[in-house]
Amino acid sequence: MATLYTPQSQAGIMSFYDAPSKGPKVGPKVVLIAIVVFAIILIIVNHFAAV
């Protein structure tokens, strides 16, 4: 039976993403809401620009 192992090229990925950053902490819900609001604004602007 073959054994599973993690390649060395992927060994540090989790520690890279877990490293603290100096940027703002934004949750996934905030990002999703911002995307939806931005899409709605674009649709409204596109609607009024076509008139």
Handedness of CA 33, 36, 42, 48 (dihedral sign): negative
C-alpha 41/C-alpha 51 separation (Å) is 16
Whole-prediction pTM: 0.54
C-alpha 39/C-alpha 24 separation (Å) is 23
Per-residue pLDDT of the chain (51 residues; tens, 9 = 90+): 555 555 555 555 555 556 677 888 889 999 999 999 999 999 999 998 866
* Domain segments of the chain as ranges: 26-51
